Structure 1
Amino acid sequence: MDSMRALLHHDDFRELETMSNRLNRILSKGGISNRRPDEAMAAADWMPVVDILEGHDDFQIHVELPGVEKSAVKLSIEKGVLSISGQRPQGTLSEGTRYHRNERPYGRFERVFGVPDSVDEQKLEANLKDGILTVRLPKVEKAKPKSIQISVA
Structure 2
Amino acid sequence: MLVRWQPLQEIEEVRRQFDRMFRDITTLDQEAAKGWVPASELRDDGDHLTLRLSIPDIEAKDLDIQVTKDSLTIAGERHLERKEESAEKGYYWSEISYGKFRRVFALPVAIENEQVKAEYTNGILTLTLPKANEVKAFKVDVATELPAS
TM-score interval, normalised by the smaller of the two chains: 0.5 to 0.7
Count of aligned residue pairs for this structure pair: 119
Q: Could you say what secondary structure the match of 1:37 adopts? A: helix
Alignment partner of 1:144 is 2:136: yes
Match of 2:11 in 1: none
Match of 2:48 in 1: 58
Please point out which of 63, 66, 88 is paired with 1:76.
Answer: 66
Q: Give the Å deviation of 1:151.
A: 9.1
Identity of aligned residues (%): 26
Q: Could you say what secondary structure the match of 2:111 adopts? A: coil
Alignment of 1:17-28 (within 5 A): none
Stretches of structure 2 lacking an aligned partner (at least 5 in a row): 1-20, 145-149
Please point out which of 115, 121, 136 is paired with 1:123.
Answer: 115
Match of 2:102 in 1: 110
Over 3 Å counting, the alpha-carbon distance change for 1:36 and 1:61 in structure 2 is farther
Deviations 1:66-110 (A, max 9, x none): 101001110012363210000000131323221101001110001
8 Å Cα contact 1:53-1:59 kept in structure 2: yes
TM-score if structure 1 supplies the norm length?
Answer: 0.66
TM-score if structure 2 supplies the norm length?
Answer: 0.68
